[in-house]
C-alpha cells in the first residue's frame, strides 16, 4: 500500500514537471471520463458518442489538468471512444464541476466505498481493508482512474447480500449494469441457484436505471450508444485495444500470434465453458448456504475469462473472490501450496503488463484460470461435505 502510494504520487508529480518542461505529460483513462463530464455540462449527452467532440473535449481536459500546454503537448490526447451506456453518464455528471485532481480523487474515493466495504465484510478482522488496498488491481484502478472499484463493489456487495437480503442484492447487481458486460454470467448464476427474487429485483433495477437516464438525458443518447456499438466492435479487428494491459483469452491469443478469427473461436469456447461451470456450480450449491462464498468466488473469477474485453484494472472484481477464498482457507484449513497459489497469483499480476511488452505472453488469463481452479476445487469439496452431512 505504501509502495502504491509513493508510485502513484511520483507519477502525478512527474506529470506536472513534464508539462512545465514542455514534454508530454501524464494522461490516464480518467482524462476521457473527465472530458465526457465536460461535454455533458455544455452539450446534449449524445455528443459523448461523437469522435470529433470527444477529441476536442479530451484536449480541453488536458489543458484543465496542467494549465497552459502547447498544441504539440495536447496532440497526444487522441480519440478515446465513449463505450459506456447512457446510464453511466449519470455517474460522471458532477465531475466537470470540480478541478481535475479533486474529481479524480473524488471519483476513486466514492467508487472505492462499496469495494472496501465488501472486502471488509468478507474478512471481518483487521485484514480486510489492507487486503483490499494492497491487491494489485487496486493499484491499476487508482493509477488509471478507472471503474474497477465500482464494478467490484456493486457486484461483490450484491453477492454478499444475496441469501440474506435478496431484493437489495438484486438492486446492487442491477446498478452494476453501468458496465453491462461484467454482468454477463450473473443472470445464469441467479437462475441456476434459484434466486428468483434477486433476479427480479436486478431486472427491475436495470429498467429503472434506463428510465432514469431517459428522463434525465433524453432518448437520443441511447440511439447514439446503440448506433456506435458496431464501431466499437471493429476495435477488435483494427488493433484499437492495448493487448498487454488486457486479461482475456482473446487478447492472449492475439498476442501469441493467432488471427482475429482464431482468437474469437478460442474466446467463444472459453466463454461457453465459463457459463457451463458457473451454472453447474450455482445449481449444485443452490441449497447449500455454507458454500455461498465459494460459489460467488467462482462467478467473479470466471467472469473476466468469459469476456473478450477486460483490463487489469477490471480485475478488482477478483479481489472479493480472493477474499472469499482466503476466508474459507482460514476457516477450514488449506495446504501451503494453496496459500502460495493465492498470494503468488495476485502478486504476479503486478508484472503482467510489463512481461507482455517483452514476450508475446499474457499471463493474466492463466492466473485467473489457476485461481478459478482453486476456487472450484474448494467449492466442490465444501459441497460434498455439505451433502454428506445432510445425508
- pLDDT classification of 387: cutoffs 50, 70, 90: low
Burial class (CB in 10 A: 0-12, 13-18, 19+), 64: middle
Give me the pLDDT at residue 266, please: 97
Looking up cell 465513449, which residue turns up?
82
For residues 303 and 100, the model is more confident at 303
Burial class (CB in 10 A: 0-12, 13-18, 19+), 334: middle
Ordered by start, the domain boundaries in the chain are 2-82, 102-229+245-390
For residues 69 and 10, the model is more confident at 10
Give me the pLDDT at residue 151, please: 96
- pLDDT classification of 156: cutoffs 50, 70, 90: very high
Whether the CB-CB separation of 19 and 25 falls below 8 Å is answered with yes
Rounded to the nearest 10 degrees, the angle between the axes of helix 196-217 and helix 220-227 is: 110
Query: Positive or negative CA dihedral for 205, 207, 213, 216?
Result: negative
**pTM of the prediction?**
0.94
Please compute the mean of the pLDDT values over residues 294-305 and round it to a whole number.
Answer: 97
Which pLDDT tens digit goes with each residue over 161-191? 999 999 999 999 999 999 999 999 999 999 9
Amino acid at each position: 500500500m505504501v509502495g502504491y502510494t509513493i508510485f502513484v504520487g511520483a507519477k502525478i508529480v512527474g506529470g506536472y514537471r513534464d508539462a512545465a518542461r514542455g514534454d508530454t505529460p501524464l494522461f490516464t483513462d480518467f482524462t476521457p471520463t473527465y472530458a465526457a463530464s465536460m461535454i455533458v455540462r455544455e452539450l446534449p449527452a449524445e455528443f459523448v458518442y461523437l469522435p470529433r467532440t470527444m477529441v476536442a473535449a479530451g484536449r480541453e481536459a488536458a489543458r484543465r489538468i496542467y494549465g497552459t500546454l502547447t498544441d504539440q503537448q495536447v496532440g497526444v490526447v487522441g480519440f478515446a471512444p465513449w463505450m459506456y451506456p447512457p446510464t453511466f453518464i449519470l455517474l460522471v455528471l458532477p465531475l466537470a464541476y470540480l478541478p481535475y485532481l479533486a474529481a479524480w480523487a473524488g471519483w476513486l474515493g466514492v467508487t472505492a466505498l462499496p469495494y472496501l466495504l465488501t472486502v471488509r465484510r468478507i474478512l471481518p478482522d483487521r485484514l480486510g481493508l489492507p487486503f483490499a488496498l494492497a491487491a494489485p488491481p487496486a493499484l491499476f484502478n487508482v493509477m488509471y482512474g478507472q471503474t474497477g472499484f465500482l464494478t467490484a463493489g456493486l457486484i461483490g456487495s450484491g453477492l454478499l447480500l444475496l441469501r440474506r437480503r435478496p431484493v437489495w442484492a438484486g438492486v446492487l447487481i442491477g446498478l452494476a449494469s453501468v458496465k453491462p458486460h461484467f454482468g454477463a454470467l450473473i443472470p445464469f448464476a441467479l437462475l441456476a441457484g434459484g434466486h428468483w427474487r434477486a433476479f427480479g429485483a436486478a431486472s427491475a433495477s436495470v429498467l429503472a436505471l434506463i428510465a432514469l437516464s431517459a428522463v434525465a438525458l433524453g432518448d437520443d443518447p441511447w440511439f447514439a450508444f446503440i448506433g456506435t456499438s458496431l464501431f466499437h466492435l471493429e476495435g477488435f479487428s483494427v488493433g484499437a485495444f492495448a493487448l498487454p494491459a488486457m486479461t482475456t483469452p482473446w487478447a492472449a491469443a492475439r498476442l501469441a500470434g493467432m488471427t482475429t478469427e482464431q482468437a474469437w473461436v478460442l474466446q467463444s469456447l472459453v466463454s461457453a465453458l465459463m457459463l457451463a461451470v458457473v451454472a453447474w456450480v450455482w445449481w449444485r450449491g443452490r441449497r447449500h448456504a455454507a458454500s455461498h462464498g465459494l460459489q460467488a468466488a467462482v462467478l467473479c473469477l470466471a467472469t473476466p475469462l468469459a469476456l473478450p474485453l477486460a483490463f487489469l484494472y477490471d480485475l478488482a472484481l477478483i479481489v472479493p473472490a480472493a477474499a472469499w477464498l482466503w476466508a474459507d482457507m482460514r476457516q477450514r484449513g488449506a495446504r501451503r501450496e494453496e496459500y502460495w497459489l493465492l498470494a503468488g497469483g495476485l502478486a504476479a499480476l503486478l508484472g503482467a503488463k510489463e512481461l507482455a511488452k517483452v514476450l508475446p505472453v499474457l499471463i493474466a488469463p492463466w492466473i485467473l484460470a489457476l485461481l478459478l481452479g482453486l476456487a472450484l476445487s474448494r467449492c466442490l469439496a465444501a459441497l460434498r461435505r455439505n451433502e454428506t452431512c445432510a445425508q
